Chains A and B, each alone.
Chain A
Amino acid sequence: MEITILAFGIAKDILGGIRVNITLNEPANIHALKQQLEHNYPPLKELASYMIAVNNNYASDTQTILSTDEIALIPPVSGG
């Protein structure tokens, strides 16, 4: 299935846009999504941590993803 990722902060630079599509084999969970993302965009792995939110809820690695879900990739931010 194809899903759309909304990128925030430095993730916009890493993914090359605020909205990118990614193809996942079904059934897919957050862990599989992260692996695919880090494969397609290696600097994500270097960040060490980032949050995935599904429909505005924090998503753990085992959570299943549906093609209709809104998925946000939220990296840490340090500025003050």
Chain B
Amino acid sequence: MIPQENAHLRYACQLVLPGFNVEAQQKLANAKVLLVGAGGLGCPAAQYLVAAGIGSITIVDDDVISAGNLHRQILYAQHEIGRFKATIAAEKLQLQNPFITINAVIERVGADNVMELVRHCDIVVDGTDNFDTRYLLNDACYLLKKPLVYGAIYQYEGQVAVWNIATTDGKRTPHYRDVFPSVDATMVPNCAEGGVLPTIAGIIGCMQANEVIKYITGIGEILAAKLLMLDVQTLQSRIIQLQPASHTVVEALPKPIIAPEISISTYKANIAQYFLVDIRTSAERAFAHMGGVHLPMENLKDNPQLLDQEKPVLLYCASGKRSYELVKILQQVTDTPLYSLKGGMKAWLEA
């Protein structure tokens, strides 16, 4: 049974929907959803999933709330800066709907825990902000045959798709690697670097919740074998029809490549020990910088000998994402110890 006495009141406006009924509500109550990333996409997705009456939601995020999150991560408030996103999200969402189970998991999703997290759910929502975790989640869902609701945002644009749905002929619909087999992450800015309009995060996150509700209840037509693209500057949307079935086999989880990071506090305590390098563009450098030598990313990729320094080299960018990805690439071609400044200029300014 739906675990509350006034369910007919709480869910009245969806129970009267054409095609929706008590059985559909019961399916939501029985469902277990894994939400990875409690950020710009995860906040709105979680709010609607909780309000709609999903029985069990697990929110996984190891990050803490920062000032730069607040314009789009609408579950969080000024006084909660520095606290764990998953904890705060779960607390507030539980107040919204006390009749469901909400678990906060303060862990970074990695090769060590992803299979266990995905195994116990019916459907996964990808609200992450980096390619490594997107591919990891994709591959875990492929291996465990779980549907994955993908959402991603950049500036004024968003993408939504549902990967890995079983078809009637025993195959699976396309997954992330069918569309984007691999990515050089240094080439694609994230929200902190490229910018993002807060409302596109809300819209795409809501669309992800929408796909979850449709998948669980069987109502409507989910975005399987399709990729929706939305541009909020024009509000033009298009749905790209993908191939009907997946052709890309995933045999195992990707091997993680780790880049060593240095925190702002560690750097501040040992400034003289590092050769600091700003890898951002000239325009970003001109706007503001925190010292060091300016060697833009493209320049370093083409001339890794520039890293031949006596001290360990510490790379920084706007958010710590580009420098992290660049260390992953460059550490394969130099013997100089390389580090990425965690949080980048953003953390420097907020420290």
Query: Interface on A for B, CB 8 Å cutoff?
Result: 8-10, 43, 46-51, 53, 56-58, 60, 72, 74-80
A-B contact pairs, 16 of them (CB 8 A): A9-B188, A48-B187, A49-B180, A50-B180, A51-B180, A51-B240, A56-B238, A58-B240, A58-B242, A74-B227, A77-B152, A77-B159, A78-B185, A78-B188, A78-B190, A80-B128
A54 to chain B: closest residue by CB: B240
A55 to chain B: closest residue by CB: B241
Contacts of B41 in A (CB 8 A): 80
- Nearest CB of A to B330, in Å: 14
Name which of B103-111, B129-137, B264-272, B304-312 contacts chain A. Answer: B129-137
B153 to chain A: closest residue by CB: A79
A48 touches B182 (CB 8 A): yes
B residues 111-134 in Cβ contact with A at 8 Å: 126-131, 134
A57 to B130, CA, bound (A): 26
A47 touches B184 (CB 8 A): yes
A58 touches B241 (CB 8 A): yes
A80 touches B189 (CB 8 A): no
Contact bitstring B219-249, A, C-beta under 8 A = 1, else 0 = 0000000010101000000111111000000
- Nearest CB of B to A57, in Å: 5
- Nearest CB of B to A54, in Å: 10
B189 touches A10 (CB 8 A): yes
- Nearest CB of B to A75, in Å: 7
B191 partner, pick from A43, A49, A74, A80, beta carbons under 8 A:
A80
B129 touches A79 (CB 8 A): yes
Q: A-B pairs with the 5 shortest C-beta distances?
A: A80-B129, A77-B152, A79-B191, A76-B180, A77-B154
Majority secondary structure of chain A interface residues (helix, strand, loop or mixed): loop
Contact bitstring B10-49, A, C-beta under 8 A = 1, else 0 = 0000000000000000000000000001011110000000
A10 to B189, CA, bound (A): 8
Contacts of B242 in A (CB 8 A): 58
B residues 136-190 in Cβ contact with A at 8 Å: 151-155, 157-159, 179-185, 187-190
B191 touches A9 (CB 8 A): no
B240 touches A74 (CB 8 A): yes
Known: A77-B152, A78-B134. A47 touches B188 (CB 8 A): yes
Known: A78-B152, A79-B194. A9 touches B157 (CB 8 A): yes
Q: Does B196 contact A (CB under 8 A)?
A: yes
A58 to B37, CA, bound (A): 28
B231 to chain A: closest residue by CB: A8
B191 to chain A: closest residue by CB: A79
Contacts of B126 in A (CB 8 A): 80
A48 touches B184 (CB 8 A): yes
Contacts of A80 in B (CB 8 A): 37, 39-42, 126-129, 151-153, 191, 201
A77 touches B181 (CB 8 A): no
Contacts of B128 in A (CB 8 A): 80
A46 to B329, CA, bound (A): 12
A58 to B241, CA, bound (A): 6
A47 to B131, CA, bound (A): 12
Residue of A9, A56, A80 with highest tally of chain B CB at under 10 A: A80
B183 touches A76 (CB 8 A): yes
Contacts of B179 in A (CB 8 A): 51, 58
Contacts of A43 in B (CB 8 A): 187
Contacts of A9 in B (CB 8 A): 154-155, 157, 188
Contacts of A10 in B (CB 8 A): 154, 187-189, 194
A60 to B241, CA, bound (A): 12
Contacts of A72 in B (CB 8 A): 238, 240
Contacts of B238 in A (CB 8 A): 56, 72
B233 to chain A: closest residue by CB: A18
